[in-house]
Amino acid sequence: MRYITLFLLLTGATLAMAQSKKELQAEINQLKTEIDNLKKPKTVNMDNEMAKISYALGTLMANNVKSQGADSLDIDALNAGMRDALSGKKILVEPNEAMMIVQNYMQQAAMRKAEKAKAAGVQYLAANKLKEGVVTTASGLQYKVLQQGNGKQPTASDRVTVHYIGTLIDGIEFDSSVRRGQPATFSVGGVIRGWTEALQLMKEGDKWMLYIPYELAYGERGSGGQIPPYSTLLFEVELIKVN
């Protein structure tokens, strides 16, 4: 009788242990599924007004920090910070400290972005000056004659009418009188240094490709949101008329 009882106890314990392992494995599988679901991008219901507003705010914030050079944010931590602040929960970083942390990060990110832009421009111009037909002046301006004219040559005090297309070295177009369908008229001495120098070398009817280092363009500040700091600029310029 004792042996039968012991056998039943051992069998019950084994079954219980097997059951526990099955339940544990099921819980592990459930957790894995939940983790996988959390990793998947959530679909935003743009028919929901508040979801649409929240998504729009998120894109504006992201574009703002990206434009300032932010390149590596922890999205989960960012969401946690917003959630804690919006819900009134105790935040882990006080506002003054948070401001210092963010300012320090953005300054470093801007410096990294600037150094990257400068290096890219230097590399581009170094390779470009070796190409056939490209002329490099003492200032560092580079140009290539696409079409020769034989008209009047402007001075720094003249006004000129031109057609132009401006791009960054990655090919992104930031301005174009050609696209607008209307040539531009301005003073030769009233534009960026690279243009002022190039225009005084051109004649009416000339069409040149200009390769302008950042020092002769918009420098360390850039211009608006389309021309980042330290940008080397490319322009196709046609000198239509000296006024």
CATH number for 234: 3.10.50.40
Q: Is 218 a catalytic residue?
A: yes
For 204, the 3-state DSSP assignment is: coil
User: pLDDT, tens digit, for every residue of 170-207?
Assistant: 999 999 999 999 999 999 999 999 999 999 999 999 99
In a domain, 91, yes or no: no
Burial of 166 (0-12, 13-18, 19+ CB in 10 A): buried
**Cα-based distances in Å from 45 to 58, 60, 83, 86:** 14, 18, 19, 21
In a domain, 154, yes or no: yes
| Domain membership of residue 169 as a residue range | 126-242
Report pLDDT for 110: 85
Q: Which residues of the chain, if any, have pLDDT below 70?
A: 1-19, 34-41
Report pLDDT for 2: 54
Which among 164, 211, 214, 230 is annotated as catalytic?
A: 164
User: pLDDT, tens digit, for every residue of 54-72?
Assistant: 889 888 888 888 877 777 7
Q: Is 174 a catalytic residue?
A: yes
CA dist., res. 193 & res. 198, Å (int): 9
Report pLDDT for 119: 96
Q: Kindly state the DSSP code that residue 75 receives in the 8-state scheme.
A: H
The total number of structural domains that make up the chain: 1
Query: Residues with Cβ < 8 Å from 178, sequence gap 6 or more?
Result: 163, 164, 165
CA dist., res. 193 & res. 199, Å (int): 10
Single-letter residue type at 9: L
Q: Is 186 a catalytic residue?
A: no
In a domain, 194, yes or no: yes
Cα three-residue angle 178-180-183, rounded to 5 degrees: 60
Q: Indicate the pTM of the whole model.
A: 0.69
In a domain, 179, yes or no: yes
Which among 175, 211, 214, 230 is annotated as catalytic?
A: 175
Quickly tell me which residue has 């219901």 as its tokens. Answer: 45
CA dist., res. 212 & res. 173, Å (int): 15
Report pLDDT for 57: 87
Task: Give Cα 17 distance to the centre of its chain.
Answer: 57
Which among 143, 218, 227, 230 is annotated as catalytic?
A: 218
